[in-house]
Structure 1
């Protein structure tokens, strides 16, 4: 049981010496990367930069003990930071102290939700976030996050918003006040980071930009000319503090915490699965990941951490740098801890525009253009879903965008299962194969006295009228010569009570018109329903067949089924005849 909740007990005893160099290299690299990133992401969340370092420390340690992914790098991320800012920004808070308390309590709240979901084995919840929704949401959120940093890049006071039209309007109003030196430093940092990524991806270009920015401000006295700097960063490790908020605030935080819990889990599990597939491993357990991420946030909140999860870019760097185990995360945490103890004075002269540049480069890399183009070419309905999520997230806000995107994806799913594919079948000449006449129009035989069709989906209250209308339409098209309707039921895995009632009425009506209904290929669960519902007596056992061509040939020569054909076609888990 302990090994289930603490996977480190499974991999640590078998740890190999040859893994150490890779883990140390990855741990130091990600730790160094986390320092500017953590401070930058805390700014997105509306928090003092030091809280990004707090969030980069304790959660990593807990995840290393409890996580099932060996490469996932946990800490502050851009998406969660923006969700914190947009969620708390919508509340009427008294000041920075209450804002800080709410952000830290939010980590505790979302951690509790994630842990409960994991213990209840609800990892399947992430399945409701389809890839078009995730892609549209991520691209829109990346744009909003990037544009939210314009105030630091331009050196102006732009009122924040998570709605792009308001944000751009507010930015346009302050363009005449742009501080040119600040803008030049920011653009130079963006160019430097992009060049470093191409020239030497493993070297932390963000840290180099931080170093050069601090050096330029200190030596040239740029802060005196209006370049805004981070200022004093409190030193020392985060103290133990019990998160507290007023009770009436809990209900206000619930929707924010729930959204964070699901989005953070989605982000972490998707990148963990991607690395797992690349390495050919199979160790990531979705439910244990929920528990691990939840406990990381819970414990982290007692050490002044705001919401965290596994990050895309840091996990990729962790993997590329050679991480083999959670030891890399422990080393990253040590690097951040040493920075808090000894190096915080270095960041006093760090320009805010450098942190904005780091954020912009990181988040704009999340914008995916290839996938929408692919959907436009092959799946127009899913492209529209992606586009709707993208536009709604941009125009209405982060939480609204993801929730409406999920709602629309569920509506699309309901539409599909309510209107499943129905194929009219014909016999391919010279064979016993019955296939879709629209796919094999040149080599297929269609018979005036037979209507053979295949229904590709469950038959239930949501599509029983669709099935009945389509069937009646095809019967009418056949005309008075029709004698047999053969329903290929291979794809029908379930028939609910409403559909049973419809089928019973259908059989009765067909009999009154001297049309015989036969079922072919019904699978075991469907045959069970035929028996338990009594529908088998309406259809008749003699009208059940294993394959379509057997039903067809039986009608042609009115032959009796063999004993084996009879047993296989009518066998049920409820009774065997």
Structure 2
């Protein structure tokens, strides 16, 4: 494996030029202005001295630039990970104490080592156990919990707790002791930050600034709030009036120090470190993939694990705490024009200069301003509308999302996410233990098979076609046995059962035993089991067993081939009615249509003009006919699926569309056009003579090479 696989910087570094440096430098300037207040605020959220947020924004950025694969991901302190850090350490040590800071560094070290180990062992898939509904519920609940937890700084009172039942009573009891000046500073900061977030860009554009410049300047709103607040505290001597400020901030770069090396403490922190690692990885990969896709780039999950691991290890030796990729900062970095991870290096240099030169000025920074910065930032994470959407789409996923949200709010961060993950896994097992199993029949006029309860299809009494829409493994093996037993008992004429395996990706040992049991029971009932549409990997599994030799049936390449061989009389009867090729014609409804077809046909002299004027040219033949040769510009929707496709595709549902249909010799296209007229389509033409007439006239045909599918 090439060294550049683990050090992506060797790849982009070779092509680095002055233009990239200019773009990265400008992006770094914007991100630095955004990161300074955020890093101070998120350190306070984590229960640490604010300066540790700056420390966590220097070496971690350099480490990620070496090992990370995302060109635009902005690494540093983030709200959710800061909350998880506080929830982990608050029960163990007093916030801000030397022991607390050392434990935070140890937590970062453990997170970094876990991420690096997962990278080396290629275990990034573990993060897939955090489903999107669970992550969404967790982030929304974390945003609410963080915002409520910061109210104490806005009010100038004391309160603590890991959840709402602990926080809210203390805040309510402390209301009489609200510090008026602190509240005023906090409310004004909130109002300014909220307005700057939503309105400042438009105002600056109205003053004549270019949109990009206005957007970048608007991102500096928190910096302006900090400058004004520091000046107000210093000039009005508000610290003496009781306004809580950041206080003395050490000047200069952090020295390299070891975190607390306590084996018992490390074992105690390990579960929390694993959760922080997974949550941070999921958040980083989500934003990294989104931004990479916009530039048609890719990120490598293994590199992201290693990059984030290196960043956290660097944080642990430089006085920091756990870090990850931040969504808002990464988007700003991308929008500002960052081209490579060198933007992160420039950002680290900017933070380093700030630590060396500006930290004495932070003494008079009110904690209420940092709290307002946090509240405005985290409320954008709260997405309660997604609860309604998820619940409407899937009750199981909605239940997992709600359980996660309520668990975080009412119990705590770690318990909430574990509850959500556990419930989502249980619901997954329950759902897959009762897979969807459909009796299918042939769609008239096609080689397709669909659910008999949803489509008007053709069935034969002697052949039962059954489609399984799930992999077969131990939780659902018995369910398949029971379902087949019920169906065979209710259909005494059945002599062949064809198990359509197009949706089966795996058959484990338990399911294989169940298939053997099904074969024996079917033989007792005088029924033979067959398989169709078995995927290659599943077929490889079956060949490694003795099932194919013992079950006595056949394995068909398609359900259509199974019907041709197992019900030949029915198949020949259907073919005798079809004029164009060996595909069943249509139902009795279509035979009636054939007698009353009144659709307008267009001959070759008018065809080209009609096709140019049409919104869609549709080839209603089967896919194999279409792939052999078709008229340029035509799309393929087989006759048997045409009404279904047009009814269920919103882009095709407009009844004013101008459509031109054709088939082999206009038989099918005329029937299809008449059916569309009954559905309300008024501008439908059928090409007289079909593709045979088109070809006979020497018109152009296309015969594309279609991709092969496994």
Aligned counterparts, 1:250-269, within 5 A: 250-269=266-285
In the alignment, is residue 379 of structure 1 matched against residue 391 of structure 2? no
**Equivalent residue in structure 1 for 2:537, among 516, 521, 525:** 525
- Tell me which residue corresponds to 2:73: 72
- Does the residue aligned with 1:223 lie in a helix, a strand or coil? coil
- Does the residue aligned with 2:14 lie in a helix, a strand or coil? coil
- Does the residue aligned with 2:247 lie in a helix, a strand or coil? coil
Q: Could you tell me how far apart the structure 2 residues matched to 1:285 and 1:431 are? A: 43
Displacement of 1:430: 4.2
Kept in 2, the 8 Å contact 1:31–1:332? The answer is yes
Q: Which runs of 5+ in 1 are unaligned?
A: 560-577
Q: Could you tell me how far apart the structure 2 residues matched to 1:264 and 1:416 are? A: 29
Kept in 2, the 8 Å contact 1:165–1:395? The answer is yes
Displacement of 1:98: 1.0
- Tell me which residue corresponds to 2:97: 96
Q: Could you tell me how far apart the structure 1 residues matched to 2:174 and 2:452 are? A: 64
Displacement of 1:162: 1.8
**Equivalent residue in structure 1 for 2:510, among 494, 498, 511:** 498
- Tell me which residue corresponds to 1:4: 5
Aligned counterparts, 1:238-317, within 5 A: 238-282=254-298, 284-317=299-332
Kept in 1, the 8 Å contact 2:528–2:552? The answer is no
Q: Larger deviation: 413-422 or 87-96? A: 87-96
Kept in 2, the 8 Å contact 1:418–1:466? The answer is yes
Aligned counterparts, 1:138-177, within 5 A: 138-158=139-159, 160-177=160-177
TM-score, L = length of structure 2: 0.75
Displacement of 1:220: 1.8
**Equivalent residue in structure 1 for 2:567, among 552, 556, 564:** 556
Kept in 1, the 8 Å contact 2:106–2:266? The answer is no
Give deviations 1:88-144, integer Å, cap 9, x for gaps.
112256981211111111111211111111111112222111110110000001111
Give deviations 1:36-78, integer Å, cap 9, x for gaps.
1111111111111111111111111111222111111111111
- Tell me which residue corresponds to 2:21: 20
Q: Could you tell me how far apart the structure 1 residues matched to 2:150 and 2:223 are? A: 18
- Tell me which residue corresponds to 1:187: 187
**Equivalent residue in structure 2 for 1:334, among 349, 365, 370:** 349
Aligned counterparts, 1:533-544, within 5 A: 533-541=545-553, 543-544=554-555
Kept in 1, the 8 Å contact 2:442–2:458? The answer is yes
Displacement of 1:350: 0.8
Structure with greater Cα Rg = 2
- Does the residue aligned with 2:567 lie in a helix, a strand or coil? helix
Q: Could you tell me how far apart the structure 2 residues matched to 1:109 and 1:65 are? A: 20
Displacement of 1:291: 1.0
Give deviations 1:426-460, integer Å, cap 9, x for gaps.
222344432111220xx223333332111112222
User: CA distance change for structure 1 residues 112 and 528 in 2, over 3 Å: closer, same or farther?
Assistant: closer
Kept in 2, the 8 Å contact 1:149–1:356? The answer is yes
User: CA distance change for structure 1 residues 494 and 213 in 2, over 3 Å: closer, same or farther?
Assistant: same
**Equivalent residue in structure 2 for 1:459, among 465, 472, 491:** 472
- C-alpha root-mean-square deviation of aligned residues, in Å? 1.9
Displacement of 1:538: 2.8
**Equivalent residue in structure 2 for 1:406, among 400, 421, 424:** 421
Q: Larger deviation: 317-326 or 13-22? A: 13-22
Q: Could you tell me how far apart the structure 1 residues matched to 2:537 and 2:106 are? A: 49
- Tell me which residue corresponds to 1:445: 458
TM-score, L = length of structure 1: 0.92
Number of residue pairs matched? 553
Displacement of 1:369: 3.1
Give deviations 1:184-239, integer Å, cap 9, x for gaps.
21111111112222222422111011011111111222222221111111111101
Q: Could you tell me how far apart the structure 2 residues matched to 1:72 and 1:236 are? A: 27
Q: Could you tell me how far apart the structure 1 residues matched to 2:68 and 2:442 are? A: 55
Higher helix content, 1 or 2: 1
Give deviations 1:286-317, integer Å, cap 9, x for gaps.
11111111111212221111111111111111
In the alignment, is residue 351 of structure 1 matched against residue 345 of structure 2? no
- Does the residue aligned with 2:387 lie in a helix, a strand or coil? helix
